[in-house]
Amino acid sequence: MRVDAWLAARFPEAPKAFVRRALAAGCLTLRGRPCAKGERVEPGAAYVLLREPGAPAAPMPNGDVPLEIVWEDAALIALRKPAGLDCQPNGPEERGTLANALLARRPEVAGVGDGPLTCGLLHRIDRDTSGLVLAARAQGAYDALRAQFAAHAVEKRYLALAAGEIRAPGRLEHLLAHNPRAPGRMVDAARWRDAKRPMRAVTAFRPLRPVCVGGVPCTLLEVTIRTGVTHQIRAQLSFAGHPLVGDRRYGGLAVPGFPRHFLHALSVSCAHPATGAPLFLEAPPTDDLVAFLRRA
């Protein structure tokens, strides 16, 4: 295994930029010399991570990246992210993310969050998942709502198209972990002895209607989660034998002309961080999903 892949597997929850910065700064050493990213790991050797690279600089605003604001007040901003767009950059050199776009329109989000790259974003969804993302305009609102996320008091609803005929509501519970042999994929920790730091994930779903995709029976689902583990919905539905349409990473049906998985963050229910009043925010499905269902 290359040392960059090994280091990414050793720190699975760290941003990819952590690995790049650590190796570029000579922070990973073997017998006193810095390791290059392309060299191979020596079995049984003692590697030393001297220090974590310095915190990255803040990202640059980029008004060329489209931004759709579906709701905002003095504390919060609700955005509808399209598929194909990352939520936040891995380093200050990246400029084509939702965070860069938000910073260009609402500069007060600079510095809000748990790091300079956060730009107020309270949670993230995958690059190829569309839908609702919340951002805080001040650190107090960020801290208050992040506490709700940590307490599993925030309910998130998704629209998902899964393989197979699903006729009844269901509930899935797993301990998910980053795959130690394939970074970027989650596994069921109960089946992997070497899985590190498993995280509890609970997903509830109910069928909305059957959909036929290229002759293959599928089901449109409303999915509800309160936990927020990487790839939670995608992985758990795949483990249950119902991978998402278009999700090749987890065994989903590939559909010509549809380059992403069918998953949309539909709504969030929480308490307003300033007033405590119940708050319900929604982002309608994107045009590509609406068109897909019309064709099916």
What gap in Å lies between CA 197 and CA 195, rounded to an integer?
Answer: 7
Task: Please indicate whether residue 143 is annotated as part of the active site.
Answer: no
Q: Which two tokens stand for residue 15?
A: 């941003």
What gap in Å lies between CA 268 and CA 261, rounded to an integer?
Answer: 21
- Three-state DSSP class for residue 161: strand
Q: What angle do CA 171, 175, 178 make, to 5 degrees?
A: 125
Alpha-carbon 29 to chain mean position: 31
Q: What angle do CA 160, 166, 170 make, to 5 degrees?
A: 80
Q: Which two tokens stand for residue 214?
A: 């290229």
Which one from 4, 126, 128, 247 is the annotated catalytic residue? 126
- Three-state DSSP class for residue 270: strand
**Structural contact between residues 34 and 28, judged by C-beta atoms closer than 8 angstroms:** yes
* Residue 72: partners with Cβ closer than 8 Å, 6 or more residues away: 78
What gap in Å lies between CA 232 and CA 177, rounded to an integer?
Answer: 10
CA-wise closest residue to 128 among 69, 94, 68, 85: 85
- Three-state DSSP class for residue 163: strand
Active site residues: 126
